[in-house]
């Protein structure tokens, strides 16, 4: 999903096996479809995350730490995802009941035949951004022509920028999971999460600016989703998952400490200073709440936003077989 400094990446990858075990065994006190869960009337469900435990998943960990999922009758386990994993495929295959992704990923997956449906928005706006040096002459996306960008290969937002800003001479190279190249090269431009990499640049004594991809008009939601058959068979469980999750996000923005303590326990590659930076960035960037600081819009999605994203993907040729965008999401479980 995102980048991290190489030292932390090495530490995180070495801890992956342990994290998976700790997550599966420690988060709920029950393992998989355990007899204990069944005896307590809880439905075991798994949430496939989109990366290792981190504050960008804080609402889910708050709901877990506070017991909100259990109050809804759910015995939830959160599964981390490594660099090359696909949460979409994990959920589609039945190896998890819920997953984290983005609305453009869901639309593309549905167009390709995967039986997925988004049930709520984790973030109203995606923190994906381009990072440039503070004194870079790049101040707008149109300034990217003739420059090299380190990005995830095949990124749809990159295709969007090339088309919208008529970038004839821009060059794409694979992004690395490090800010080392950025710090060494004053002309380096790389894809980042605005909630993460600027922290490491500042800690290393560098200065940077960010250009949010959403400001260019490519503005997918980050979403949580399930399979269509699970939704059909367990609508009450999906409704409970959505309620607990939205409650968790509202609480996390008020008090992130309980969730952050759990995240730090599960992923020692995090550190409190970094986590505080991320929480501040999530809040100040209005990524979770959108423009309504009251929190009333947490989790909400609109048909209009989905239709715009679907149209953009179709125009880019990412979706080659037309679909009704409403087939990729449902609003039935969200506050009106």
Cα separation, 80 vs 9, in Å, equals 14
Q: What is the mean pLDDT of the chain?
A: 89
- Which of 165, 183, 216 represents a domain boundary (last residue)? 216
pLDDT of residue 23 exceeding 90:
no
Task: Please say if the pLDDT value at position 301 is more than 50.
Answer: yes
Q: Could you tell me if 109 and 10 lie in one domain?
A: yes
Q: Last residue of a domain, which of 201, 216, 231? A: 216
pLDDT > 90 in the chain, percent: 83
| Shared-domain flag, residues 107 and 132 | no
φ, ψ dihedrals at 183, nearest 5°: -65, -30
335 within domain boundaries: no
pLDDT of res. 82: 76
Same domain, 266 and 204: no
Helices (H) and strands (E) in the chain, counts: 14, 10
Distance, CA of 23 to chain centre: 18
The DSSP result for 204-273, as a single string, is TT--EEEEEGGGGT--PPEEEEEEHHHHHH-HHHHHHHHHHHHHHHHHHHH--HHHHHHHHHH-TT--HH
Q: Is the pLDDT of residue 114 over 50?
A: yes
Question: What residue has token string 């005896």?
Answer: 39
Residues 85 and 29 in one domain: yes
Q: Please enumerate in sequence order all residues whose Cβ is within 8 A of that of 149, keeping only pairs 6 or more positions apart, or say none.
A: 130, 158, 170, 171, 172, 173, 189, 190, 191
Q: Are 222 and 87 in contact (CB under 8 A)?
A: no
Per-residue tokens: 123:
């973030």
pLDDT at 32: 36
Q: Which pLDDT value is given to residue 7? A: 34
200 and 121 in a single domain? The answer is no
Query: Quick check: helix, strand or coil at residue 163?
Result: helix
**Residues 101, 226: one domain?**
yes
**8 Å CB contact between 223 and 245:** no
pLDDT digit string, tens, across residues 96-110: 999 999 999 999 999
Q: What is the CATH number of the domain that holds 42?
A: 3.40.190.10
Average pLDDT score over residue span 278-304:
96
> Which band of pLDDT confidence, cut at 50, 70 and 90, is reported for residue 19?
very low
CA 2 to chain centre: 9
Residue finishing a domain among 181, 216, 251: 216
Q: Could you tell me if residue 334 is inside a domain?
A: no
The per-residue pLDDT for 37 is 52
Same domain, 85 and 208: no
Say if pTM beats, i.e. exceeds, 0.85. Answer: yes
Across 26-39, average pLDDT = 41
pLDDT band at 16 (very low <50, low <70, confident <90, very high): very low
**Torsion of Cα atoms, 264 then 297 then 283 then 225, to 10°:** 40
Does residue 130 surpass a pLDDT of 80?
yes
Cβ-contact 80, 52 below 8 angstroms:
yes
Model confidence at 293, pLDDT cuts 50, 70, 90, reads confident
Per-residue pLDDT band for 124 (boundaries 50, 70, 90) equals very high
173 plus 225 within the same structural domain: no
For 176-193, what is the mean pLDDT? 95
CA distances from 331 to 60, 242, 279, 292 (A): 19, 11, 27, 19
Both 230 and 199 in a single domain?
A: no
202 and 55 housed in the same domain: no
User: Would you say residue 123 has pLDDT above 80?
Assistant: yes
Bridge partners, 61 (sequence order): none
* Helix, strand, coil % in the chain, rounded to nearest 5: 45, 15, 40
pLDDT above 60: residue 307: yes
pLDDT band at residue 324 under the 50/70/90 scheme? very high
Helix (H, G, I), strand (E, B) or coil at 201: helix
Q: Are strands 74-79 and 43-48 parallel, antiparallel or unpaired?
A: parallel
pLDDT in tens, 153-163: 989 999 999 99
Q: Which domain covers residue 75, as residue numbers?
A: 6-125+220-328
């Amino acid at each position: 999903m995102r980048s991290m400094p190489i030292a932390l990446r090495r530490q995180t990858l070495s801890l992956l096996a342990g994290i998976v075990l700790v997550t599966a065994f420690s988060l709920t006190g029950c393992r998989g479809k355990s007899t204990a869960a069944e005896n307590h009337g809880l439905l075991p469900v798994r949430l496939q995350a989109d990366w290792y435990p981190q504050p960008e998943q804080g609402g889910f960990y708050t709901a877990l730490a506070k017991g909100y999922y259990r109050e809804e009758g759910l015995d939830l386990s959160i599964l981390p995802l490594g660099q090359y994993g696909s949460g979409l495929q994990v959920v589609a295959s039945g190896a998890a009941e819920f997953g984290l992704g983005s609305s453009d990923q869901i639309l593309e997956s549905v167009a390709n035949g995967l039986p997925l449906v988004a049930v709520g928005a984790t973030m109203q706006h995606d923190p994906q951004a381009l990072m440039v040096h503070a004194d870079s002459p790049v101040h707008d996306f149109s300034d990217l022509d003739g420059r090299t960008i380190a990005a995830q290969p095949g990124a749809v937002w990159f295709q969007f920028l090339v088309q919208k800003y008529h970038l004839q001479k821009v060059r794409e190279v694979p992004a690395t999971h490090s800010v080392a190249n950025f710090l060494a090269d004053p002309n380096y431009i790389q894809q980042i999460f605005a909630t993460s990499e600027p922290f490491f640049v500042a800690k290393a004594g560098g200065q940077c600016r960010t250009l949010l991809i959403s400001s260019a008009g490519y503005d997918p939601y980050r979403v949580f989703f399930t399979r269509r058959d699970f939704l059909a068979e367990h609508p009450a469980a999906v409704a409970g998952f959505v309620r607990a999750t939205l409650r968790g996000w509202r609480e996390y923005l008020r008090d992130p400490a309980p969730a952050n303590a759990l995240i730090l326990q599960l992923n020692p590659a995090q550190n409190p200073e970094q986590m505080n930076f991320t929480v501040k960035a999530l809040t100040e960037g209005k990524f979770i709440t959108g423009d309504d600081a009251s929190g009333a819009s947490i989790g909400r999605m609109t048909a209009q936003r989905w239709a715009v994203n679907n149209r953009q993907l179709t125009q880019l040729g990412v979706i080659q077989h037309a679909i009704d965008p409403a087939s990729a999401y449902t609003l039935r479980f969200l506050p009106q």
